[in-house]
Structure 1
Amino acid sequence: MTDRLKIDIPVILPDVQDAGDSCVGRLIAELKGHVGVEDAHVAPMETGATTLCIHYDPNLIPLWRIRELAESAGAEITQRVGHLLWQMQGALHPRRARTIADRLRALPGVLEANANGAGVLSLEYDRAKTSEAAVRAELAKLDVRNVQPLAQPAPDEHAGHDHGPGEHGHSHDHGGLFGANSELVFALLCGGLLVTGFAIEKLVAGAPSWLPVALYMLAYVFGGFFTLREAIDNIRLKRFEIDTLMLVAAAGAAALGAWAEGALLLFLFSLGHALEHYAMGKARAAIEALAELAPDVASVRRDGALVELPVGELEVGDIVVVRPGERLAADGFVVAGQSSIDQAPVTGESIPVDKRPVADAEAARARPDLLDAASRVFAGTINGAGAIEIEVTRRAGESTLAKVVRLVSEAETRRSPTQRFTDRFERIFVPLVLGLAVLLLFAWVVVDEPFRDSFYRSMAVLVAASPCALAIATPSAVLSGVARAARGGVLVKGGAPLELLGSLEAIAFDKTGTLTVGEPHIRSVVPALGVTAGELMAVAVAVEELSDHPLARAIASDGRSRLEGETVPMATALRSHTGQGVSAMVDGEQVLIGKAEMFGENGFEPLSPAMEEAIAGLREAGQTSMVVRKGGRDLGAIGLMDTPRPEAAATLKKLRGLGIRRMIMISGDHQKVAESVAKEVGLDEAWGDLMPEDKVEAIRRLKAESAVAMVGDGVNDAPAMANATVGIAMGAAGSDVALETADVALMADDLSHLPFAVGLSRHTRGIIRQNLFVSLGVVALLVPATIMGLGIGPAVLLHEGSTLLVVFNALRLLAYRKEV
């Protein structure tokens, strides 16, 4: 049965006076659209804050994603709900990680706990009911010590100090006698004792009979040490797992006097575990490599001198000097020098990007989120042949690279749908295996054979039926897939988006900034009768300079070259009319600038026939049209056009080749404009004239037919993305909102990275299917074979071989090639 949780999170909605505010509505719409969120509503509190009450399924959406989505919608989550993201003692076996998470989840006050084979622990807790110290104490009982915080976006009282990419919190003291290699050393000692005992028993004439048995017993100690610890933890949780089955089989072999076979079982099982840890560590190393991209020190101008400082001491506003060939230490913008920068470590772009200084440092400092890509730089990228100076806009722990490392590490703790299914299957299957073994104990009653033979067969079946490979089949593939995606400039937030992305047959695209470049320019100016083009543009520029909408920025920048000597008046009291346009006051009169559909509704007078005719002409030409009205007089219309992305047509062709059957463009622009762009990029379907709420409804309609992804910028498209099966944001590097709202984030502002993400996801699904076939197939083969007489030794050899096979099969994902 799936548990549903209800949680009240105190949030602060800045500048919101009541729960009926549109910001609250947007917050609820974004949350309720996500898979796993059953209901979301708010209620004001006496303190002035707002309580966000969410009913959700933690198996489908984690609390940290809810936190992200709430914050991206403008809410500031208060500190009652604590969040921990820790690195435990290196790579773990997925079953061990699951046991740790289950034990922590049972603590009072712990809302969610998840761990993975890479040793990452993600935990949410209620500060009023428990504390970080209580969590550490419980981990100590599980022999998990010296955990360290992973990279955090900002310092936080519950997570220790923050770690930037250059100051990682990875523990290298793993608590065992031989450190990180304890399990491998124990397994090899077990094997050595087994071989020695066997050699004495078979080759040394006259050796005391107790000596080989003593060596086998010692082999049991080393081979069963870690397995026994895991079994005890599981019994405390009232759960039978694979480790328990192996111990029962080994104990059964000892009871029969087959010490050598029991020791062989424990040797191969513990060796398999140790090798699995090594393999899982390879996937973890791919993420650690990301964290180590940023340098440890930076050359900074301080008080007129150039000094070397640790990256953790960099402050916003510092000027960092980057020499040719050096890695950049921080996010920021170029203030001096020109160079080309290899951004592949962060964005996955294969070609270095030319960088130049910002035209206006003050403006860049005031609005770093609107920085031009030609001046924006990221920590961890590599400078080319020119020396540059950058101004820091984010501290080390808040850089794009640090956020990616944190988000990927956190995402890897999330179980995919297949993994949840295999977990449930295991918990049913293991007791059935125990039942079958007990039944076979009494085979001697029916079959004419000694009890010893029936007992031996029962133990062999226990080994054969243990679904070890099944336990690791999916998590190893997800870990490798998420790590490979991150290395290619694609952030995938967990196993669920990874699997779902690979199952898609339909994708919806936003138009502006997704299929088009996102830099519209004025193509036509149509003044009304008696109005000059200069007068029209002066009023339009005055109002649009107050807005940061892409169309507004285009009018403000291009419009100045069309003023014809007119002076730009002062505009005040800007107000946005979502999806339609803006209004402001100029010279004491109201100015409206927006789509033709804005007029004739909400109390605004309809357009004049002449203006309607002008708008129709602009739309026929495929231009986005904006009407300008001052007071009660239409001043004219402005036609803008955005150019399709050069890579759009080729990208859509690749997606079709990957099996995406249906691709739709959804746009707030007029239907004819949408159709014009769709035709140019090679799309068959274009849905225009859509308000933000219409886009949400369009996605819901598509989703009712089949799984659908929504591709947008992650900001204006957030509600539609939230309602899609998978939300995909483009150009997420440097955009906190895009990183937070998306299930999948393409770090580069490049549509051609989408086929890589879809192809990798499809390949991951294929690897998972292969692993499930191998793991279940071996069980199906071995169970009847052991019933028919196959011994414990061959059974455990095939059993552990299949487990290693699925792990190394999953590691192939790390070598998945990205098409150029």
Structure 2
Amino acid sequence: MQKVQLDLPILLPELLDEQDNCIRLLLADLNGKRGISKAHIKEGQPLQLCVHYEPALISLSKVEEIARNSGAEVTQRYQHTLIRAKKVRHQRHARQLEHKLIAIPGVVTAMVSVPGTIRIEWDSEQVTEEQLRQKIQQLGLNISPATKPQHRRVPEQDHHHEQGHEHDHSNTNFLGEHTELYFAIGSGIAWLTGFILSFVDGVAPELLIGIFTAGILFGGYFTLIEAIGAIRQGKFEIDFLMLVAAAGAAALGKWGEAALLLFLFSLGHALEHYAMNRARKSISALADLAPPIALVRQDGQTVEVPIEDLEVGDVIVVKPNSKIAADGIVIKGNSSVNQAPITGESVPVDKRPIADLEANIILEDVPAEHRAFAGTINGSSVLEIKVLRATHDSTLARLITLVKEAETQKSPTQLFADKFERYYVPVVLAVVVLLLFAFLVIDETFADSFYRAMAVLIAASPCALAISTPSAVLAGVARAARQGVLIKGGRPLEDLGNLTAVAFDKTGTLTEGKPHLTHAIPYENASREDLLITAAAVEALSDHPLAKAIVDGAKKELNNKAIPLAEQLEALIARGVKAQIKNETVHIGNRRLLAEITGMPVPPVLDQQMKDLEDGGHTAMIIHRGTHYLGIIAVMDTARPEAKATLAALRKVGIRRMIMLTGDNQQVAEAVAAEIGITDPLGSLLPEDKVAAIERLKAEEGKVAMVGDGVNDAPAMAKSTVGIAMGAAGSDVALETADIALMADKLDNLPFAIALSRKAKQIIKQNLVISLGMVAILVPLTVMGVAEIGPAVIAHEGSTLVVVLNALRLLGFKTK
């Protein structure tokens, strides 16, 4: 038997993630083919399909052909989409909607998040996207249109445009979005009034019953609506149970307790919806970052264009203090741009026009001072920007899509809670049924048994458990996005908080990614200025990256002082270069070159200085002009300014090991490590060595993150527990590859992300303890009759509210 590994994203180009049902369908198809004994998914990113086959029955080329054909069939037949919806009220409602959607013929999977993102996969041979959208609307949801309307370009006018907004016209919200809260307050006022009057002599019992009934009606209105919705799909949710418990209490003449139950239950739900709406709006605000209209330069005049109609190559005009409408490059104007909405950078970034406007320019290859992103805010000067990405491909658009998708991804803890709930609820119902017949066994009336059973129902309700994890994940993802950190769902959010080791790519992650002039050491009577002028004159003729670093560094130090022209540059293989300056021959190179041209070893002073620089990871070169030495220049890929402080901050948040992976030699690796505080420098690594290093670190530490640029580091990032991409605002690959993306090219957001994850993990644990602990305390007390319905309701609803408010603390999280 033999096996072959194939990249899944190639077979399934529409693949969303490793939980995609298309993978299951592809595996089912392959496992049924003759000659294929087993097909399964190999862990890692990019995802790989591993196919075990019998060479005697089927050839390798045939296996690959079958896999390609199966992938094409699955991709064509099974479709996915993300739909934005309004009126998803809470976590239980989201689960109800999932069950209803999965029941539609042709729907493979459906995931609904509380913020209102529906991720749905369907069989296009059984149902169309339009039919699905109609069915979703029939469920009472307002959804975004499938396609955007066509717009006409119109000249700029002296008027403002009003953005269209969806409004909830449901008849249950006749007092606005806080109607439910107002009803709960009304119920509370009625209950409190009745409670006070019950201590007043002479108040007619009928009046008290009427007041408590008003409290029941106000508190039970939205509860009844929820219960009816659940019953229609054959489910008895907590709302129905609460209504039964209230009706039972009223039937027993305990009108005050019935009113209290529904008041606190409705208040708890109203405050839960209000609090969750804050997190929902925090994420939804991303969609409002881009302006609806762009000003486009056309034929010498400026016209207003809806951003959906912007085309690559258009030139947009961005007025002072207004939002930039598209990703592109600055071609005219100088201004400071607030990039915080996209990258999380706290300080505005200076932008200036690009000098060389190439025909096929790629945005991520352009220096940061020329790049502009949709949704960022211009400063005090007018900018003209050439559009390089269509609206649907902009960094902002991709960020919004990925955040919406992240909303639908459940964390391991949430999956555990959902599974626990599936088994827990039937057990509770069985216990309640048994308690209803307790009067047959113990000396009490049916009314007492019924009352106790209702109290247990309330106490054992898993409301707090259901909301404890998703509320924390949602708030954590929202807070991270505001800081310029994209966390793709609950799993990486939880995993990041468990880390004790982080591995870094060196070049471009811990260092600037390009060499800089670091030293210019004159020899004996030579001057530093003469050394720099000579070096710059010769290296200006070369196109080598080190030569550019020397020229740029020398010009900066010389303050753009005139540099003589060199000529007749000649490359001396493995030794250096030579050129002519004013009839003098200049050599720049290593010890071997200078020994050749002088016939003598390099002077001991220069030799020692070269050795010291090389030991420090620098690339050093000797400069010789005419008959004498001028000195030494050295270049190096220097550490990022924030690298040392970032690593120190990581130690403070509990990261014990910080590993650097680099292809540079071990000497260079150790020099950089000593400068910035890396604990484990690993040099001379090929790409496959980096993967092996990550696997070894996982074996030693259990979990490890890999930080890189998302391109050449992709294999190592795939093997890590959490892949973290740098500078994702400019890189498609980085944004798509990683579990977590640092939108700005800034390392110092990493300690924030880890600290946020640790806090989220802590809050999730607290919420689980609160929700399960309250059930563990209340259920025995209500079974024994110690706690009645009133205290049970207060404790139960109090715990639900506490876990939501506890989770929302993440929205205001700040590192110390």
Q: In structure 1, what is the Cα distance between the partners aligned to 2:150 and 2:61?
A: 33
**Shift of residue 183 of structure 1?**
4.3
Contact 1:729 1:738 in 2 (8 A): yes
Give the Cα–Cα distance (whole angstroms) in 2 for the partners of residues 720 and 96 of structure 1: 40
Label 1:616 to 1:812 Cα distance change in 2 as closer, same or farther (>3 A). Answer: same
Secondary structure of 1:101's counterpart equals: helix
Give 3-state SS (helix, strand or coil) of 2:374's partner.
Answer: coil
Q: Tell me by how many angstroms 1:83 deviates.
A: 2.6
Give the secondary structure class of the aligned counterpart of 2:710.
Answer: coil
The question of whether the paired residues in 2 share the 8 Å contact of 1:484 and 1:816 is answered with yes
The answer to whether structure 1 residue 102 and structure 2 residue 99 are counterparts is yes
Q: 1:758 aligns with which of 754, 778, 789?
A: 754
1:317-716 pair list within 5 angstroms: 317-362=313-358, 365-521=360-516, 541=543, 565=567, 620=615, 622-623=617-618, 641-705=636-700, 706-716=702-712
SS at match of 1:748: coil
Give the match for residue 125 of structure 1.
122
Out of 677, 699, 722, which is 2:718 matched to?
Answer: 722
Of 267, 272, 276 in structure 2, the residue corresponding to residue 271 of structure 1 is 267
* 1:504 aligned partner, one-letter code: L
| Greater shift in the superposed pair: 684-693 or 86-95 | 86-95
Residue 306 of structure 2 corresponds to which residue in structure 1? 310
Task: Give the secondary-structure state (helix, strand or coil) at the position aligned to 1:686.
Answer: strand
* CA distance in structure 2 between the partners assigned to 1:11 and 1:659 by the alignment: 39
Could you tell me the TM-score, scaled by structure 2's length?
A: 0.75
**Scaled by the length of structure 1, what TM-score is found?**
0.75
CA 521–196 in structure 1, closer or farther in 2 if over 3 Å, else same: closer
Q: Tell me if structure 2 keeps the 8 A contact 1:187–1:223.
A: no
Write the distance in 1 (CA, Å) between the matches of 2:195 and 2:640.
70
**Residues 112-151 of structure 1 aligned to structure 2 (within 5 Å):** 112-141=109-138, 143-148=139-144
Q: Which of the two has higher C-alpha Rg? A: 2
In the alignment, which residue of structure 2 is the partner of 1:288?
A: 284
Moved more, 337-346 or 647-656: 337-346
Structure 1 match to 2:231: 232
Q: Which residue of 2 aligns with 1:65?
A: none
Contact 2:469 2:767 in 1 (8 A): yes
Deviation at 1:171, TM superposition (A): 4.0
Q: Which amino acid aligns with 1:222?
A: Y
Shift, 1:654, TM fit: 0.6
Please give the per-residue CA displacement for 1:182-212, whole angstroms capped at 9, x wherever unaligned.
Answer: 6446656666776788899997638599967
Q: 1:271 to 1:44 in 2, by over 3 A?
A: farther
- In the TM superposition, what whole-angstrom CA distance separates every residue of 1:337-388 from its partner, at most 9, and x where no partner exists? 212212111111111111111121126x522220111111112222223322
Give the deviation of 1:443 after TM superposition: 3.0
In structure 2, runs of 5+ residues without a counterpart are 1-6, 15-40, 53-59, 152-160, 520-534, 555-562, 572-606, 622-632
Q: Hey, what does 1:785 align to over in structure 2?
A: 781
Conserved? CA contact 2:540–2:547, under 8 Å: no
CA contact (8 A) 2:664 2:685 kept: yes
Change (3 A) 1:470 1:206: closer
Distance 2:429 2:564 in 1: 83
2:464–2:800 Cα contact (<8 Å) kept: yes
What residue identity is the alignment partner of 2:679?
A: D
CA distance in 1, matches of 2:553, 2:689: 30
Provide the rounded CA distance (Å) in 1 between the counterparts of 2:66 and 2:516. Answer: 43
Would the alpha carbon gap of residues 278 and 563 (structure 1) be closer, same or farther in structure 2, given more than 3 Å must change?
Answer: farther
Farther off after superposition, 751-760 or 669-678: 669-678
**CA distance in 1: counterparts of 2:394 and 2:685, whole angstroms:** 35
Do the aligned residues in 1 keep the contact of 2:492 with 2:740 (CA within 8 Å)?
yes
CA distance in 2, matches of 1:685, 1:162: 56
Q: In structure 1, give the amino acid aligned to 2:228.
A: R
Q: Which residues of structure 1 form unaligned runs of 5+? A: 1-5, 14-30, 55-74, 150-157, 525-532, 545-549, 570-612, 627-637
- Asked if residue 51 in structure 1 is aligned to residue 48 in structure 2, the reply is no
Mean Cα deviation higher: 309-318 or 335-344: 309-318
Secondary structure, aligned partner of 1:482: helix
Note if 1:812 corresponds to 2:806.
no
Contact 2:642 2:747 in 1 (8 A): yes
**Counterpart secondary structure, 1:229:** helix
Shift of 1:666: 0.8
How far is 1:257 from its partner? 5.1
Aligned twin of 1:608? none
- Looking at structure 1, the residues matched to 547 and 74 of structure 2 have their Cα atoms a distance apart, in angstroms, of 32
Q: 2:209–2:255: 8 Å Cα contact kept in structure 1?
A: no
1:284 maps to a residue whose letter is: R
RMSD between superposed Cα atoms in Å: 4.4
Identity %: 54
Give the secondary-structure state (helix, strand or coil) at the position aligned to 1:683.
coil
Alignment partner of 1:34 is 2:72:
no
Task: Measure the CA separation in 2 of the matches of 1:517 and 1:476.
Answer: 38
Counterpart-to-counterpart distance in 2, 1:199 and 1:620:
84
Q: Is the 8 A contact 1:678 1:684 kept in 2?
A: yes
User: Against the structure 1 CA distance between its residues 97 and 160, is the aligned structure 2 distance closer, same or farther, given a 3 Å change threshold?
Assistant: farther
> How far apart are residue 457 of structure 1 and its match?
1.0
Q: Give, in whole Å, the separation in 2 of the partners of 1:553 and 1:120.
A: 49
Q: Does 1:172 align with 2:189?
A: no
The one-letter code matched in structure 1 to 2:729 is: A
Deviation per CA, 1:42-61, whole angstroms, max 9, x where unpaired? 9989999973979xxxxxxx
Q: Cα 1:47–1:426, aligned 2, differ >3 Å: closer, same or farther?
A: closer
Distance 1:159 1:229 in 2: 34
1:25 maps to which residue? none
Instruction: Give, in angstroms, the shift of residue 562 of structure 1.
Output: 13
User: Higher mean Cα deviation, 323-332 or 800-809?
Assistant: 323-332
3-state SS of paired residue (2:234): helix
Q: Which residue of 1 aligns with 2:578?
A: none
- Cα distance, 1:291 vs structure 2: 2.1
Q: For 2:304, what is the secondary structure of its paired residue?
A: strand
**Distance in 1 of aligned mates of 2:340 and 2:74:** 33
The answer to whether the Cα contact below 8 Å between 1:92 and 1:280 also exists between their aligned partners in 2 is: no
Would the alpha carbon gap of residues 244 and 726 (structure 1) be closer, same or farther in structure 2, given more than 3 Å must change?
farther
3-state secondary structure, aligned to 1:330: coil
1-structure distance, mates of 2:66, 2:300: 46
Letter aligned with residue 425 of structure 1? F
In structure 2, the CA distance between the partners of 1:639 and 1:812, relative to structure 1 (3 Å rule), is same
Distance in 1, Cα, partners of 2:547 & 2:78: 39
Output the CA distance in 1 between the equivalents of 2:796 and 2:267: 12
Q: Secondary structure at the match of 1:380?
A: coil
From the superposition, tell whether residues 367 and 376 of structure 1 become closer, same or farther in structure 2 (CA, over 3 Å).
same
Please tell me the residue identity of whatever aligns with 2:99. Answer: D
Counterpart of 2:285 in structure 1: which amino acid?
A
Contact 1:241/1:427 (8 A) holds in 2: no
- Of residues 33-42 and 725-734 in structure 1, the stretch that sits farther from structure 2 once superposed is 33-42
| Cα offsets for 1:453-506 (capped at 9, x unmatched) | 121111101101112111111111111110010001101101111111111111
Secondary structure of the residue aligned to 1:519 is strand
What's the counterpart of residue 772 of structure 1?
A: 768
C-alpha contact 1:328 1:379 (8 A) present in aligned 2: yes
Amino acid paired to 2:437: F
Partner of 1:421, secondary structure, is helix
Cα separation, 1, equivalents of 2:248 and 2:150: 50
SS in structure 2 of the partner of residue 374 of structure 1: helix
Task: Name the SS of the counterpart of 2:792 in structure 1.
Answer: helix
For residues 43 and 551 of structure 2, what CA distance do their matches in structure 1 show? 35
Alpha-carbon distance between aligned partners in 2 of 1:34 and 1:174, rounded to the nearest angstrom: 47
